[in-house]
Amino acid sequence: MKSIHIDYEMAEATLAEADARAGEADAAVAKLYEKDMAFTGWVDYAAHFPEDELSRIERTAAEIAGKCDAFVVIGIGGSYLGARAALSFIDRPDSKKPGAWPEVFFAGFNVSGTYHQRLLDKLEGRDVCVIVISKSGGTLEPSVAFLTLKNYLYNKYGQAGAHERIYAITDAKSGKLKAEADANGYASFVLPSDIGGRYSVLSPVGLLPLAAAGLDIRQMLSGAASAEEPGLVAAAKRFACVRAVLEGQKTVETVSFFDPSVEDFTAWVLQLFGESEGKDGRGVFPAPVGISRDLHSLGQFLQEGRQIFYETLLFVEDPTADITIEGADAGDYAGRSYSEFARAVLEGMAKAHRGVDIPIIRVYIPDNSAYSFGQLVYVFELTCAVTGLLMGVDPFNQPGVEAYKKGMLDYLAQT
């Protein structure tokens, strides 16, 4: 199997400074693998995923797929971004067959009545299930969306029928969702207490909805396990060292996707990097860029604007489908394919940006398989955790997010 590889185009001095931190990165990885700090359960979870849990996920997913033609995943942040990223990224061999798998909708990540009304309208006439995901079990946005969807299910299937269509993923012991799942008998799964939301896509949080949508979750876990091999761990360590050095030089990291199938993965990366590293006055602001789309808007700023950023480019080397240009009017483009054009955009952009000394990190993703997705997730999780440790922050907490959650609940209590 081909693996992810990462190339660097930047000043030799920057790379030398990064390589001088290799020993620190080794120590950080050792600390993670020894689980010498809280919330490090993810480091070996995918590679040693309990078989009985995996089989139960697959059985429950088959039950969901047999029961409905649409299901809604309710969650915010780490409770939905990973599943959405995988659904957009991974190919399903039979995805062309209409109705082969239930359609997946997401809710609970905004507080828009318009969004949720439109969602209810789309569900009209469909057979519906709901997967509600919240580690804490009390986050406002998913709680409100769950109340809305639960009411919809009650009206449609009655209380007992609705309860058979609700699946919960939450903490093993605490929280409102856990108590409700127990009281109402929802089929439920546990997000282990030592895995935080943004590191949870390779747990039931991502695996249940993805299996119910027809994706090969075993391949995904194999890809993640492959990333624990020394070669990819070394790649993640160097990626982390380079990012830690660039943190001293720049304030923005553009995370660019060339293929739209990677756009939702980019959103997952923004959460991972932003929430893990942006604290104690540290971190680099991660900003998404869609190529070629944004080259015709932000491209001007990147080339000639204030040089506050470095670039991380996400490029799929062997995309699922390619189309060759044909037809009487094809002219100079005749016989050329989209993958050639994508390569031309990548090289053209890199040449232009090299010319103005923008540091560039190229992440080459082999293909759109579930295996590559699992590998990609793990490489980014490890890179992020090691970068955070090199920067001296705790990559697993999110006190700033908790502050907004509290402020919002305080406001509601006072009004």
**Catalytic residue ranges:** 275, 296, 405
> Do 256 and 290 meet the contact criterion of CB atoms below 8 Å apart?
yes
Q: What does the per-residue mask of binding to ligand PA5 show for 68-87, with x meaning CB under 6 A?
A: --------xxxx--------
Yes or no: say if 259 and 316 are a contact pair by the CB < 8 Å rule.
yes
Q: Which stretch binds ligand PA5 (CB under 6 A): 50-58, 65-73, 131-139, 335-343?
A: 131-139
Nearer to ligand PA5, 102 or 142 (CB): 142
Minimum CB–partner distance for residue 390 and ligand PA5 (Å):
20
**Which position has the token pair 């939702």?**
264
Query: CA-to-CA distance for 125 and 313, rounded, in angstroms?
Result: 42
372 versus 398: smaller Cβ distance to ligand PA5? 398
Distance (Å, rounded) from C-alpha 382 to C-alpha 387? 8
Q: Rounded to the nearest whole angstrom, what is the least distance from the CB of residue 199 to ligand PA5 in the complex?
A: 7
Instruction: Out of 40, 88, 139, 375, name the contact with ligand PA5 by CB under 6 A.
Output: 139
Which CB, 77 or 102, lies closer to ligand PA5?
77
Q: Is 136 in the site for ligand PA5 (CB under 6 A)?
A: yes
Which position has the token pair 């969901």?
Answer: 64
**What DSSP designation does 248 have?**
T
Q: Contacts with ligand PA5 in 334-373 (CB under 6 A)? A: none
User: Near ligand PA5 by CB under 6 A, which window of 128-136, 207-215, 310-318, 354-362?
Assistant: 128-136
Task: Identify the residue among 198, 237, 279, 353 touching ligand PA5 (CB under 6 A).
Answer: 198
Facing residues of 73 across strands? 106, 131
Concatenated DSSP letters of 138-166 = --HHHHHHHHHHHHHHHHHHHHHHHHTTE
Query: CB within 8 A of 282, min separation 6: which ones?
Result: 247, 391, 392, 393
Q: Which is nearer to ligand PA5, 196 or 359 (CB)?
A: 196
Please choose, out of 195-203, 230-238, 349-357, 381-389, the segment that lies near ligand PA5 by the rule CB under 6 A: 195-203
Interface mask (CB under 6 A) for ligand PA5, residues 264-303, using x and -? Answer: -----------x----------------------------
Question: How far is the C-alpha of 255 from the C-alpha of 265, rounded, in Å?
Answer: 10
- Chain residues 224-243 in contact with ligand PA5, contact rule CB under 6 A: none
Least CB distance to ligand PA5 at residue 269 (A):
13
Distance CA 153, CA 166 (A): 9
Least CB distance from residue 270 to ligand PA5, whole Å?
11
Task: Order the strands of the 360-365 sheet from edge to edge.
Answer: 5-9, 360-365, 309-316, 252-257, 285-290
Alpha helices, DSSP H only, in 185-337?
204-212, 217-226, 230-247, 263-277, 298-304
Number of residues that bind ligand PA5 (CB under 6 A): 15
Q: Could you please report the per-residue DSSP string of 322-348?
A: --B--STT-GGGTT-BHHHHHHHHHHH
Nearest to ligand PA5 of 41, 197 (CB atom): 197
State both tokens at 211.
Answer: 């299996």
Q: What minimum distance in Å lies between the beta carbon of 398 and ligand PA5? A: 6
The least CB distance from residue 40 to ligand PA5, in Å, is 14
Q: Which stretch binds ligand PA5 (CB under 6 A): 191-199, 257-265, 319-327, 375-383?
A: 191-199
How far is Cα of residue 72 from the mean position of the Cα atoms in its chain? 18
Q: Read off the tokens for 393.
A: 């922050």
Residue nearest to ligand PA5 (CB): 197
**Among residue numbers 376 through 415, which ones bind ligand PA5 (CB under 6 A)?**
398, 401
Tell me the window of 60-68, 89-97, 135-143, 262-270 that interacts with ligand PA5 (CB under 6 A): 135-143
Pairs from 404-410 (Cβ < 8 Å, separation ≥ 24) = 405/139, 405/140, 408/140, 409/140
Are 201 and 268 in contact by the 8 Å Cβ rule? The answer is yes
Nearer to ligand PA5, 136 or 312 (CB): 136
142 sits near ligand PA5 (criterion: CB under 6 A): yes
If binding is defined by CB under 6 A, does position 178 make contact with ligand PA5? no
Sites of contact with ligand PA5 (CB under 6 A) = 76-79, 134-136, 139, 142, 196-198, 275, 398, 401
